Each structure stands twice: as C-alpha cells, then as structure tokens.
Amino acid sequence: MVTQLTQNERFLGLIILIALGCLGLVMAAAGQHDPIGMHGWLVVVCSIVMIFVLANGYFAPEPSEARLEHYYDDPSKVGIVVAMLWAIFGMFIGDWVAWQLVYPDLTFDAAWSSFGRIRPAHTTGVIFGFGGNALIATSFHVLQRTTRARLPDQLSPWFVLLGYNLFCLIAISGYFMGITQSKEYAEPEWYADIWLVIVWVTYFLIYLRTLARRREPHIYVANWYYMAFILVVAILHIVNNLAMPIAWNQAKSYSAFSGVQDAMTQWWYGHNAVAFFLTAGFLGMMYYYMPKRAGRPIFSYRLSIISFWGITFMYMWAGSHHLHYTALPHWVQTLGMTFSVMLLVPSWASATNALLTLNGAWHKVRDDATLRFMMMAAIFYGLSTFEGSFMAIRAVNSLSHYTDWTVGHVHAGALGWVALITFGSIYAVVPWLWKQPRMYSPKLIEWHFWLAMAGTLIYVFAMWNSGVIQGLMWRTYNESGTLSYSFIDSLVAMHPYYFARAFGGLLFLLGAIIGFYNVLMTIRMAANVETGDEAVIGNPAAAGE
Amino acid sequence: MFDFDHGSIVAFSKSFGLFYLIALSIGVLIYVYWPSNKQRFEDAARNIIHDEDKPCR
Ligand code: HEM
Ligand code: HEM
C-alpha cells in the first residue's frame, strides 16, 4: 500500500506524522496529569506506529504511471476492514451494556466499566466507528465509479481515514477515563472536536476535487446524499461543539450555550446526526449498491431527487420533537412535530423507490442473501421512519419518552436499517474491490443474514413491549389519585425484556463476527489467487452468489 | 414603521420557512420534470449499472 504512494506523497505523509507526533508531545507535556496528557501520549504512539508503517515502503521505487488508469481503492479496502473491527467492538460493548441492565454487577466495581462510561463507548463505537468508517470507505468507492474520475491524490484519503480513526480512538478512550462534555453523540471534548473539523474539511474537499474532475456530466444521486452527509455533519458538529476550555492544557470545557438554548442546539444536532449521519449517508450507499447488485436501474430517478430535497430540508426542522413538554416554546415543539410527520413522505418515497427497484427481481432476492440484506434494510427504513413520525406526535411522545420504546425505535433504525444496509453493501463491494467472483462463503452470508434478522426482531420486539409497559405503569393511578406502581415495580417488570434484548444483541453480534471472518477469508482468497494457490476457495456449489 | 423587537423577530422566524420551503419545492419539481432533463436522468440511472473498473481520469 505504501509503495503505491508517490515519493512526494510519502514525504508529505512523513512530515504530517512528525508534526502530529510533536503535537502529541506538547499535549502530553502541557497536560501532565490531566486526561489530555494521556491523550497526548495516545497521539504520540499512533504517529510512531504510522511512521513505522510508512518506513516499510518509504524507499521503494516510484509507482508506475499505469496506476492512474485505475481507481484508487486502497483506502476503501482498509476502511472496510476497520469498519468491521469497530462493528465487533461497538456491538460487543453494546451487548455488555445490555447485560449490565440485566445483571448490574457486571460493572465489576470499576469506574471505567460503569454504565455511564461504556454506554457512550457503545454509541460512538457503532455510529462513528462502524458507521463512519463504512461511509468513508464506500463513499470513495461510489464517488469514483459514478463520476468516472480517480481520487485527486493518494495522500488526502489516507489522512481522512486514519485521522478519523484517531478521532474515534481519542473519543472512546476518553469516555473510559471519564471525559465527556455530556452532549449525546457529541461527547468528545474540544481538542478532539477541532481535530475532527480538520479531517472533515479535507474529506469534503476530496469530494469537490473529484467532482471537478468528473467525466460523467450528471452527478449521480448517491453522491448528493454523501455530500449532504459530509457538509451537514460539518455544520452541526461545529455549531454544537462551540465551547471554551477552562485552560489550554486541560480537557474540560464549557459550552457556549446554556439552558433551553443548549438543549435546542444539542437536539438540532442530535436529530440531524440521525438524519445526515445515520440516514443520508446510508441512503447514498443504498442508491448505488442496491441497483448495482440487482442489475436494475433505480425505479424512479426523479423520485430519488425529490426525496433527496425533501429529506434534507425537512429534517433540519424536526429536532425539537426531542424536547416535547420542556421549557422550549410550545410553537417550536409543534413545528418539530409537524415537520416530523411530513418527513414521512420523502422517507417512504425512498423506501418505496428501493423496493420497487427490486420488483421483478424477487428471484434474485430469494437466492442472494446480499440483496436480501439490502431489501430488509429498506423495509426497516420504512418501518423506523413511520415509527419516528408517530412518536414525534406530542401525545404519543408523552407515553414513549423516557421509555425503552425510544431505544426500540433507535435499534429498529440502527440494526434494521443502518447495519443491514452496511453489511449488504460490504458483501457487494468486497468481491469487487478484491477482484473476486464472489465472497468466500455464500453460506456464511446466509447465516449472518438470519442471525441479524433474529437478533433485530428479538431486540426490537422486546423493547417495544417493555417500553409500552413502562410508559403505562408510570401513568396508572389508583382510586385515591396516587400512582399505582412504584418505579422499582416497573424495573422488575422490565427484567425479562432486558434479558431478551441482551440475547438478541448477542445473536446480532455473532452475525457480525461471522461477517468479519467471511471478509477476511475473501481477502485471503484474493492473496492466494495472486500466488496461484486455489485451495482456500470455499464450496462453489453453495446457494446464492 | 416596522418595529425590530422581540415580537417581530418571532413572527419572522415563525413564517419565513413557509415561503422558502414552498419556493424550494416548486423549484425542485420544475427541475425534476423539465422535459429536456428526462434523458439525462435515465442515462444517469442506467450508466452506473455497468463496468466496475473502467478507466477514468
Ligand atoms: C449487538 C447489537 C447491539 C446491542 C446489544 C445494543 C445495545 C444497546 C444498549 C443496551 C443501549 C442502552 C439502552 C439504554 O440506555 O437503556 C444502546 C443504546 C444505543 N445504541 Fe445500541 N446496541 C447494538 C447495536 C447498535 C448499533 C449497530 C447501533 C448504531 C448503528 C446502535 C446505536 C445505539 C444508540 C444510538 C443508542 C442510544 C439510544 C438512546 O439514547 O435512546 N446500537 N444499545
Ligand atoms: C422520519 C424519520 C424519523 C422521525 C420523525 C424520528 C423521530 C424520532 C422521535 C420522535 C424520537 C424520540 C424523541 C424522544 O422522545 O426523546 C426519536 C429518537 C431517536 N431516533 Fe428517530 N425518527 C426518525 C427516523 C430515525 C432513523 C432512521 C433512525 C436511525 C437510524 C433514528 C434514530 C433515532 C435515535 C438514535 C433516537 C434517540 C435519540 C436519543 O434520545 O438519544 N430515527 N426519533
């Protein structure tokens, strides 16, 4: 991989790594016993490791000009493997969180493993680690194919991918040490946030520079979704994280916002993180990999454009549905509620468009688990957006808010939509990237599919049940007008559902581990073809393709 | 005259979205159904299905 870089790029990369290492040293020296000092050392170690990787091929001859006739896929390949690693880490922690809710003793009496610290480690690990890396990796792949243009240079994609993972490492190691600015999905402190801005701007520039070189006159709709994802996440991230550190050598900072303005800014961020991180980017994936895999153009290209503008502009207004019955002015709550209900239209337009694309290719869906992953993702996308629009109605929210219903909705979206479309896309793209006729084992994809389905359904049904029971118990009064149930009563009622959820999550995690194995074996298959050894290729007679 | 006080700012924030979102929707619909764009959209949808590894610049 290093030998593919030009000597100039290797040199620039080395400079960046040395500068980063020095910055880490400064953080370590100035921060001393503050957690920021620990993060300084983390930066130093990461830079040194990368310098060693670079040193390995540093003096190799210049790569041949022929490389410029092909797309540049090395960052996508690494990104996909890293995404699968994060998936396993994030879901392992998620399942641990779930078992902690069943057996509270599973904190093992340590501070770092308490619920409040590992919960954000789960959400960051799956959303940013797994989702983010999958988005970066696939976006580079899709961008080049749909524009018929190679990435503008070979260094900046690595900067984005590796820099982004450094951000994820700083974020998650920080939670274990107790660092947080207590904004959900935006927990990392100011220095991590600044670093992410630099990485993210570079990412957007890669997009613009590649588009400027494009050969295809029209910009395919998937790119619009990916670009909305990059651009809007940048805006959200910068505004929501405006803060003043208490000192330049300390991790702690204070937000620029307070009171209800803080809450509104946070949930404007939070809901649009759902919209542009967990939805727009993955719709980009869907609009490319699903038609490709099915071998059929998207059912209605026009509809895909209409739903794009509908989704991007309506989501912006929906954030206040997270703040029903708070100090937020009533009309702002109503505004958020109204837009959330209207949002159903473009959301269902996308889901329907995807399913109608498959209409006429159902035999492929039956035989091909990869395509089935994508189809189920579209169904869960439709389901979770319907549910979301319903929960945004103030009266419904009075029942669902604070309960596991929200958690059920989250994971109908996160497992059913985000994770399924990602696994489907990974199974489609891995053979293309490594130039193989198919994945190592179609049977294992089948296993992964059914484990993921079972896991998602168990998880979501458990949470729906427990959420509605919780909500009803908390609002049941007896004849004398006092509450019928104490909080602890509702907790006892949750126990079996928490057990079921943790079990469903375990199935889902097992599926992901199988998927990772399958990806690794496909890569090995590619390596063996190069060396002429065909022995590891799996059973070709297995179902599907 | 127009009073730049709290009330008028609230009135503005409550209503400007109505106009620009309607304008946006009309704009998008015109773009999408503009007859000469039809061919371009159909090509865009079809062109991605083929070749995975063809050259580029
Ligand atoms: C093995 C699979 C998974 C398990 C067992 C799991 C488990 C959990 C648990 C126990 C919680 C805390 C719920 C609470 O506080 O009551 C949680 C929260 C959350 N998880 Fe997962 N999770 C899994 C996969 C995922 C994936 C793949 C994603 C995203 C792509 C995700 C996104 C989230 C989010 C956003 C929250 C916060 C929800 C909220 O604040 O309402 N999870 N998860
Ligand atoms: C039309 C689309 C959607 C609407 C209107 C919507 C609406 C809602 C509502 C009303 C809540 C509960 C707020 C509360 O009571 O605190 C919520 C929570 C949430 N939704 Fe959605 N949703 C939609 C789609 C999605 C999708 C597709 C995903 C995930 C992939 C998702 C992820 C989440 C998350 C992570 C939360 C929990 C936030 C938190 O409290 O930490 N939503 N959504």
Domain boundaries along the sequence of chain A: 1-69, 70-244+262-537
Nearest C-alpha in A relative to B24: A309
The minimal CB distance from A432 to the residues B33, B52, B55 is found for B52
Measured in angstroms, the CA of B53 and the nearest CA of chain A are apart by 7
CB-count exposure of residue B57 (10 Å: 0-12, 13-18, 19+): exposed
User: Does A421 sit in the ligand 2 pocket, CB within 6 Å?
Assistant: no
Q: What is the pLDDT of residue A400?
A: 96
User: What confidence tens digit (pLDDT) does each residue in B7-55 have?
Assistant: 888 888 888 888 998 999 999 999 999 999 999 999 999 988 876 666 6
Within 179-238 of A, beta carbons closer than 8 Å to B belong to 213, 215-218, 220-221
Q: What is the pLDDT of residue A545?
A: 36
ipTM: 0.88
Q: Assess B5–A contact: CB distance below 8 Å, yes or no.
A: no
Nearest to A267 by CA among A353, A180, A194, A336: A336
Q: How far is the CA of A310 from the centre of ligand 2 (A)?
A: 17
Q: How confident is the model at residue A221 (pLDDT cuts 50, 70, 90)?
A: very high
Q: What is the pLDDT of residue A544?
A: 39
User: What confidence tens digit (pLDDT) does each residue in A236-279 have?
Assistant: 999 999 999 999 999 999 999 999 999 999 999 999 999 999 99
Nearest to A526 by CA among A438, A445, A428: A438
Mean pLDDT, chain A, rounded, equals 94
Report whether pLDDT(A92) > 70.
yes
Q: Assess B56–A contact: CB distance below 8 Å, yes or no.
A: yes
Q: For the whole model, what pTM was predicted?
A: 0.94
**B9 vs A contacts (CB less than 8 Å):** none
User: Does A307 sit in the ligand 2 pocket, CB within 6 Å?
Assistant: no
Ligand 1 atom 38, closest CA: A407
Q: Assess B30–A contact: CB distance below 8 Å, yes or no.
A: no
Q: Assess A296–B contact: CB distance below 8 Å, yes or no.
A: yes
Q: How confident is the model at residue B57 (pLDDT cuts 50, 70, 90)?
A: low
The minimal CB distance from B49 to the residues A148, A217, A291 is found for A291
Report whether pLDDT(B56) > 70.
no
Beta-carbon neighbour count of residue B19 at 10 Å? 9
Q: List the structure tokens of A105.
A: 């003793």
What distance separates the 2 farthest-apart alpha carbons in chain A?
Answer: 86
User: What confidence tens digit (pLDDT) does each residue in A268-321 have?
Assistant: 999 999 999 999 999 999 999 999 999 999 999 999 999 999 999 899 999 999
Q: Report CB contact under 8 Å: B41, A288.
A: no
Task: Taking residues A83-98, report their average pLDDT.
Answer: 98
Q: Report CB contact under 8 Å: B57, A331.
A: no
Q: Report CB contact under 8 Å: B29, A306.
A: yes
Q: How far is the CA of A490 from the centre of ligand 1 (A)?
A: 21
CATH class of A70-244+262-537: mainly alpha
- Cβ-contact A284, A230 below 8 angstroms: no
Within 335-394 of A, beta carbons closer than 8 Å to B belong to 335
Q: What is the pLDDT of residue B54?
A: 65
Within 428-457 of A, beta carbons closer than 8 Å to B belong to 432
The minimal CB distance from B56 to the residues A215, A313, A335 is found for A215
H helices within A273-343, ranges in order?
281-294, 301-315, 330-342
CB-count exposure of residue A263 (10 Å: 0-12, 13-18, 19+): buried
Q: Report CB contact under 8 Å: B32, A296.
A: no
- Cβ-contact A495, A102 below 8 angstroms: yes
Burial A97-127 (b: 16+ CB within 10 A, else e): bbbbbbeeeebeeeeebeeebbbbbbbbbbb
DSSP secondary structure code for residue A278 in this structure:
I
The minimal CB distance from B42 to the residues A69, A301, A432 is found for A301
User: What confidence tens digit (pLDDT) does each residue in A387-422 have?
Assistant: 999 999 999 999 999 999 999 999 999 999 999 999
CA–CA gap between residue A416 and residue A400 (Å, rounded): 20
Measured in angstroms, the CA of A497 and the nearest CA of chain B are apart by 43
Q: What is the pLDDT of residue B10?
A: 86
A482 three-class SS: coil
CB-count exposure of residue A222 (10 Å: 0-12, 13-18, 19+): buried
- Give residues with Cβ within 8 angstroms of B33, minimum separation 6: A302
